[in-house]
Amino acid sequence: MRYLVTGVAGFIGSQVAERLLPRATELIGVDCFTANYPRSMKEENLQILRSKPNFSLLEADLGAADLPELLSGVDVVVHQAGLPGVRPSWGREFSEYVAHNVVATQRLLEAARNAGVRRFVYASSSSVYGNAATYPTSEETLPRPFSPYGVTKLAGEHLCNTYAANYGLSTVALRYFTVYGPRQRPDMAFHRFVAAGCRGAEINVYGNGEQIRDFTHVDDVVRANVLATEADLPPGKVLNIAGGSRADVNTVLTLLAGLVPTPLRVTRTDHQAGDVEETWASCDEARRLLGWTPKVELLDGLASQVDWYRARLEPVLAATTNSDLDPDLSVVPAPAVRKPAKAGS
């Protein structure tokens, strides 16, 4: 099998590629290394992949690359690339979100259908639902994005469905719900909370902390992607991928307080535009069609992220003072980390 994984240097893309690599004759990774966080962190994510002979990396912008040539002979595309984040998607930045999340996806789909790709897996988001009318949300719930980012992810889904309906391209969109775990982007809440908790710094929480999320560990998301490359699915399928660890932000902070070495220092600021009050998914379709259910409990998953961050922090602490630390630790090599414990199936 020849795989193409886009966004391969990212939080999720790098771990999906690592899981696919043992079954790949060749795995081509593509990333354009956008400046949304330090490139050194993305290079760190690639360390394992770069050591494997069946992996190759192409640094390219999907909006401009020669995609027909790139996809020639590829069996499966796993499209993880995209510009992430609800809060930065407002204002003048929206055009960048359209370019990376909509235009690039359409170009990739066009090349995939012409190349005869067997399966196209698209990374979508729970942001397509917005503030849903009822919970838990199933895939039949009417999408109502509450942010420009959510609009672009839904547009990508519609493009997948369009190519499935018109050309029979076997697409599947996975709607991720609040993914966390090792390698998480530094702008995301869990990374910020863990970094501040480990360093005794201030934790900034948007709103009152009563926002509820269906938190999903990256290991469960990776497993869903692998299953989606293989399962017998109708073209244009959409599936929720959620962790079943539904909790509010204040509960997360309580759990984190028991995992870090110093008391938490929490401050609160205004609620941010585009942030929904609640997410809660029904994953019955993923269970039925993929045989997938989440396995990582919130406390175990949060502990794995704390372990990952502290393993990166300790070499820096040995060489500098706490006040000099870069909270993103963007230059620290990544050691092995403890995998989260599994709970049921």
Does the CA dihedral 126-48-336-321 come out positive or negative? negative
Q: How many domains does the chain have?
A: 1
In a domain, 280, yes or no: no
What's the mean pLDDT in 286-294?
98
Catalytically active residues are: 149
pLDDT averaged over every residue in the chain: 90
pLDDT (tens digit per residue) in 166-188: 999 999 999 999 999 999 999 99
CATH number of the domain enclosing 88: 3.40.50.720
pLDDT (tens digit per residue) in 202-245: 998 988 888 899 999 999 999 999 999 999 999 999 999 999 88
Q: Is the pTM of this model over 0.85?
A: yes
In a domain, 335, yes or no: no
pLDDT (tens digit per residue) in 43-75: 999 999 999 999 999 999 999 999 999 999 999
The pLDDT value recorded for residue 320 is: 46
* Domain that includes residue 150, residue range: 2-179+217-243
In a domain, 34, yes or no: yes
In a domain, 76, yes or no: yes
The answer on pLDDT for 257 being more than 50 is yes
The pLDDT value recorded for residue 334 is: 38
The answer on pLDDT for 329 being more than 60 is no
In a domain, 226, yes or no: yes
In a domain, 328, yes or no: no
The answer on pLDDT for 323 being more than 70 is no
pLDDT (tens digit per residue) in 188-201: 999 999 999 998 89
In a domain, 282, yes or no: no
pLDDT (tens digit per residue) in 4-45: 999 999 999 999 999 999 999 999 999 999 998 899 999 999
The pLDDT value recorded for residue 302 is: 97
In a domain, 117, yes or no: yes
